[in-house]
């Protein structure tokens, strides 16, 4: 993290570039449809490990992305799905 910042690379910018600059909004109808990892979380995990990060497996990266709002995996029947989607707009 510090090496990225010292090199002038924004960690936030890096993370948002991974998901195309905007939150991924999924349209699950049941919470069990949400994956535990994706191709992009695996690629981000691999890149972060190359940069010296630890404990950043694909599942951890995906869960972190959910937690910070990069991915909206609330199912469509959940009231939070729309609320989170509106916050991202």
For residue 74, say whether it is annotated as part of any ligand binding site. Answer: yes
Q: What percent of the chain has pLDDT over 70?
A: 100
Look up the CATH superfamily of 2-88.
Hypothetical protein; domain 2 (1.10.340.30)
Distance CA 89, CA 36 (A): 25
pLDDT, tens digit, 9 for 90 and up, residues 9-51: 999 999 999 999 999 999 999 989 999 999 999 999 999 999 9
Domain map (residue ranges) of the chain: 2-88
**Residue 56 and residue 52: Cα distance in Å, rounded?**
10
Asked if residue 15 belongs to a known ligand binding site, the reply is: no
Q: Are 28 and 21 in contact (CB under 8 A)?
A: no
Residue 58 in contact with residue 37, Cβ under 8 Å?
yes
Over the range 19-32, which residues count as b (16 or more CB within 10 Å of their CB) and which as e? Answer: beeebbebebeeee
The pTM of this model reads 0.89
């Amino acid at each position: 993290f510090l090496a990225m910042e010292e090199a002038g690379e924004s960690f936030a910018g890096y993370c948002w570039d991974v998901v195309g600059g905007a939150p991924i909004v999924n349209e699950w109808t049941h919470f069990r449809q949400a994956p535990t990892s994706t191709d992009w979380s695996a690629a981000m995990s691999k890149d972060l490990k190359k940069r010296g990060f630890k404990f950043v497996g694909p599942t951890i990266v995906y869960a972190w992305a959910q937690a910070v709002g990069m991915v909206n995996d609330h199912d469509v029947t959940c009231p939070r799905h729309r609320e989170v989607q509106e916050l991202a707009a």
